[in-house]
Amino acid sequence: MARVETKTFGAIGFTEAGNAGVPIVFLHGVGSDKSVWRPQLEHFGRQRRALAFDYPGYGDSGPAPAGTTRDDYASAILSAMDALGINRAHVCGLSLGGIVAIAMYHLARERCASLILADTFAVHPDGRAIYERSLAGSLDLPAMAEARADVLLAQPADAQVRREVVETMSRIDPAAYRIGAEAVWLADQRDRAAAIDVPTLVLVGELDLVTPPDLSNELVDLIPDARMQVIRGAGHLANLERPIEFNAAIDAFVGGLG
C-alpha cells in the first residue's frame, strides 16, 4: 500500500512503476479503484513513470467528506501529483476517470500534457436515470457487482477478468460509491470539453453498453482535433478486457508527444 499526504485531501492512495519520461497518470471508474490499472502500469512502467491513483474515499485513500464533487476529485489528484513532484503528465481516465480528467484540465490545463479519455462522455443522455437506479435500495456493493459485471464486460467475458471486476467493486465503501455515482452520472462538461486544446485521444470499447461509441463520437466532435479509436471486442472496461490493444493505442498516441 502506498499513500501520499496532501494538504487539503489527506492521504491519497497510489501505485507507480517506472521513472523515465513524461509521467502518465491513470484514473479509475466509479466501480473500481487504482488496482484495475495493473496491466497499464506493467506496460508503461517500462517506458516512463506511470501512476494510478485512488480518489478520496476509494481504495487506500482517506475518506471523502460529504459533498465531495468531481472537481474535488480532480483537485485531489493534482494535489497528489504535487506531493510526488509531478508538474505535468499525460492523463488517462476511464468512465468516471474521463470525467475527472476533463475536470483536471479545466482546473489546471498546464498540468496536462495530453488527455486519453476512455469509455466516457461529456454528458450522458441517461445519466440521471442511471444515477437513480444505481442508488436505489440498500446499496449492497457485492450484489451490485455480481449484477453489473456482465453489463460492464463484453460477452462472453474472461472468467478471471470478471472475478477481478466483482472483487474490486465489492470492496468499495457505499458512501464513496454514492459520491462517485453523482460525480460521473450527473456530469455535464460539454463546455469544458469544447475548450480542450491539448492532444486528446478518445478510446471506446466496440461493445460498450454503458457508454456506447456514440458518446465517444460526441466527445470527438466537441474537442478540437481529438482523435478516436475503437477497441474491438471490448466492453466498458476496455483496459482490462483488451489490454494489449488498449496499451498499443496509447503507445501510438503518446509516442510522438514525449
Q: Report the DSSP pairing between strands 227-231 and 24-27.
A: unpaired
Under the banding of pLDDT at 50, 70 and 90, the label for residue 1 is low
What is the tens place of the pLDDT at every residue in 66-99? 899 999 999 999 999 999 999 999 999 999 999 9
Strand, coil or helix: 180: helix
Q: Give the pLDDT band (50/70/90) at residue 258.
A: low
Residue 28 C-alpha cell reads as 479509475
β 10-17/50-53 pair status: antiparallel
Say which residues have a Cβ less than 8 Å from residue 145's Cβ, sequence separation at least 6.
31, 165, 166, 167, 168, 169, 170
pLDDT tier, 257 (very low <50, low <70, confident <90, very high otherwise): confident
pLDDT digits (tens, 9 = 90+) for 173-212: 999 999 999 999 999 999 999 999 999 999 999 999 999 9
Domains of the chain: 2-254 (3.40.50.1820)
Average pLDDT over residues 27-49: 97
Total-model pTM: 0.97
Q: Where are the beta strands (DSSP E) in 18-88?
A: 24-27, 50-53
pLDDT at site 118 = 98
